[in-house]
Each structure stands twice: as C-alpha cells, then as structure tokens.
Amino acid sequence: MKTLRKILKWVLYFLLIPISYMIISLILTYITVNKTELNTTNTKEVYLNTNGVHLNIIIYINELSIELKKDLEFTQEQKYFSFGWGDKNFYLNTPTWKDLTFGNAFKALFLKTSTLIHLTKYKQIRESWTKVTLSEQELKKLNQFISKSFQKDVSGNKIILPNSGYSRNDDFYKANGSYSCFKTSNTWVNSAFKESGLKSSLWTPFDFRLIDIYE
C-alpha cells in the first residue's frame, strides 16, 4: 500500500510540471506589453503567419535591411521573406507532423540544442497572413533582431545548410541561441516584436496570441 502511495505521489508530481507550465504560460501570454501607440505614422507593413503551431515573420524585400538581406539566396521573382527560428534536429527531421517522434520532441523541449533560421520565400502575399503596420523605427529594430539571430562565419557571412530545405523556395541557415521549452519558435517571434516596441505578450510559447492582437 505504501509503495502504491509513493507511485501515485510521484505521478502527481510529474503531472504537476506540465500543468504548471501551461497555466503560467497562459497567464503570461495574455499580459500585453507595449500597449502605448507611438505618435508616429505607421507607414510600414510586415506579416505574421502560422502553420497552426509555429509563427513566422514575413517582410517584403524592399523593407529588408542591407544587413539582413546580405547572403540570402533568392530569385528575382521571390519578393516576400518568411523568417522562423527553431530547433535544428526538429526542423530537419520533422518536416511534417506525421514525422514527429517522442525523441525529437523531448530533445527539442528539454535539452539545449542548436538552432536554425528557416527562410521561406514567396512571390506574393497569401490571404492567410496577418498584416502588422509599424513605424520605420520599429521596422529597423525588427530587422536588427532577425539579423542578429543568424550565426555568422569568421568572415561575417550567414551560414546556409546546402540542400536542406523542404522545397525549392526555402532554406535553412545556422542560428544563434539554444531551443528549449522556455525559448521556442513562438517566443522568438514574440521577443522580436517586443524588442522592436510592437504590441506583444509578456512571454508566450504559443502561436495564437500575436495573431489575435493584430487581427
């Protein structure tokens, strides 16, 4: 009987961790920061998109800074650049949800792992994207945040992974930082918005809150 009680006790402790994580995450997700609008005209536009789990930031080619556009591979027809950040192993070995394994998910969430920038290039705007209007200064800060997320070689060039994309219109580049349950692809996007002075969550591992704010 004592053994059973100990087992139940440890099971409850084990369940308490993800439950606490979810509750705290939801609370922080709905605390909005940068609520005050700047007294400037928001003449610039970027976009958010999600695949239902992961957020990405999309910027028109003419709104990319020289530093961010430097070394990116694209064709003349590709005008919109979608930036995502995430776990290297998860990106490369889980192209679709049917490829998800417990091992890949566990490593991504609980172990410090190397990361990649996922760059997807589009010819035109998609209806599913969420438009975000911002000032020139906010756009400049957003460009800087994304640019700093790229890992550079000794010559200061971005490091692309050859032939690693899912299709002809996307590539992977080595990134700075480690992925964990506290720093996910969605917290990266949220941090990009927060540090740029844009409305965002205090902290969130989810994709839906930023979309809700700007819809």
Give mean pLDDT in consecutive 10-residue pieces for the chain, a chain of 215 residues: 61 68 91 75 91 91 97 96 92 62 57 87 96 95 98 96 92 94 93 96 94 93
Cβ(110)–Cβ(181) below 8 Å: yes
- Report DSSP state, residue 117: E
How far is residue 215's CA from residue 210's CA, in Å, rounded to a whole number? 9
- Report DSSP state, residue 66: H
Look at residue 55 in the predicted model and tell me its pLDDT.
94
Look at residue 52 in the predicted model and tell me its pLDDT.
80
Look at residue 137 in the predicted model and tell me its pLDDT.
94
Look at residue 136 in the predicted model and tell me its pLDDT.
94
- The domain segmentation of the chain, as residue ranges, is 31-214
Instruction: Decide: helix, strand or coil at residue 158.
Output: strand
Query: What are the φ/ψ torsions at residue 52 (nearest 5 degrees)?
Result: 105, -15
